[in-house]
Structure 1
Amino acid sequence: DNDKNITDFFSFFCVESSIIKNNDVLRVAYLFYYATEVGLTTPPDKEALKTRLNALIKDALILAKKAKLDVFNALTLMDNALFLEQQKFGGGDGQLHYYLFNYRANPIAGGVNAGNRLDEENLSGIGLVMP
């Protein structure tokens, strides 16, 4: 902002994989953490959050392209359902399951509905990233 305060941030990491029978390397980015001050408003303003996250992730995609990364991956956790479709992320072909030893919890939506489609109304409700 004008007072030089940090209002937003994002991070991603890169994993390089060699391509079998080829000398090329596939460089894949994975969205890791992000935050914005818009998410701290009371009451929550989902439309403002959606607008800010779309701008923030658009910047992340631009930086990943400048870093010559080939693919950018993001899961449906956190508030990702608010930007995945608009930023033209393609859906995966399955579901990711976390197995936590000795924990008991109610089912967590994971940012998708029963049809495995993005659910902007009932976001994942959890911000768990385990690389």
Structure 2
Amino acid sequence: MTTLGKLIAVVGAVASLAGIFLCIFFMLPYIYDFRLTSAAVEVVLFRSIAIYKIPFGDIRSVRAVNAFSVSGVAVNPFRAIRIGNRFTSKAILIEKRGMLTFVLITPKDPGGFCDELLIRLGEGAPVNPSSGSK
């Protein structure tokens, strides 16, 4: 095989891997997502099967944060879980009771999701920079 042939094979392999990665990455919101029920925050598969629940009674605090840098919060990486399915700069940080104290999620509309969650928790909807609401 010539040098040009090897180069074409390598470029083809890299392009194929990049294509597979992008397809998987952009399909994640359709594979699993987040929803609010009357009693919990749920991670759901195919928008119907709940695979993880955070009951409202276990939630200590909720805030909209920068998905890449959670500043102002002491988050121990061994006590946190990141359930992200979108490439976004905004996320929701949920502090809860239990072994995994922090859960970082990336719903479609982080500001609206955070506001709605706070309303359901009975804490009202504070000023939230990502949603621009009250």
Which structure has more relative contact order (CA 8 Å, sep 6+)? It is 1
TM-score, normalising length: structure 1: 0.22
**Greater helix content:** 2
**Greater strand content:** 2
TM-score, normalising length: structure 2: 0.22
